[in-house]
């Protein structure tokens, strides 16, 4: 028997890593995230007013206060009474350094109700209040 020869059953150590399964899994995850990311909007669906300026985009982990056409209020997707809005927002932002809320109000909600809601949000100690609108479509 020679010194450098191996038997038929001795396979030896493989010095390369097979990355094909890892690449396959990563591609599947990428496709899943690309499909589900547009569905991850927060808040309730409302009929937004049109604006010619570029509106603020809601960021991840941001709080969205929504008003539907009947005047119901929602913090993200949880319905809240107007009288409880200030307290819930104050409790939500008690330990946060960045106090920022986005308001999404249906265009059919009376202006006075929107202003009253904005005052309640500001009264909760929120430093920045952004309005979410839809851009005007040019013809």
User: Mind giving me the DSSP string for 83-123?
Assistant: HHHHHHHHHHTTT-S--EEEEEE-TTS-HHHHHHHHHHHHH
Rounded percentage of the chain residues whose pLDDT exceeds 70: 71
Question: Is residue 60 over pLDDT 80?
Answer: no
How far is C-alpha 3 from the geometric centre of its chain's CA atoms?
A: 65
Question: Quick one: fold of 50-135?
Answer: Nucleotidyltransferase; domain 5 (3.30.420)
Question: Is residue 53 over pLDDT 80?
Answer: no
Higher pLDDT, 28 or 41: 28
CB-side exposure of 70: number of CA atoms within 13 Å? 6
Instruction: Please state, as a whole number, how many other Cβ atoms lie within 10 Å of the Cβ of residue 102.
Output: 22
pLDDT digits over 9-32, tens only? Answer: 566 776 788 888 889 999 999 998
pLDDT digits over 74-128, tens only? Answer: 988 889 998 998 998 888 888 888 888 998 888 888 888 888 999 999 988 888 8
Which helix (DSSP H) or strand (DSSP E) does residue 65 occupy? strand 63-67
């Amino acid at each position: 028997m020679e010194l450098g020869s191996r038997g038929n059953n001795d396979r030896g150590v493989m010095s390369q890593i097979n990355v094909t399964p890892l690449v396959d899994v990563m591609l599947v995850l990428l496709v899943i995230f690309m499909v589900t990311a547009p569905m991850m909007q927060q808040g309730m669906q409302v009929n937004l007013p049109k604006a010619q300026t570029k509106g603020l985009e809601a960021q991840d982990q941001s709080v969205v206060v929504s008003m539907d056409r009947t005047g119901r209020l929602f913090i993200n997707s949880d319905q809240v009474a107007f009288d409880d809005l200030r307290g819930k927002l104050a409790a939500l932002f008690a330990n946060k350094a960045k106090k920022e809320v986005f308001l999404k109000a249906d265009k059919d909600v009376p202006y006075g109700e929107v202003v009253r809601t904005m005052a309640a949000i500001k009264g909760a100690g929120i430093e920045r209040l952004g309005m979410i609108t839809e851009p005007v479509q040019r013809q």
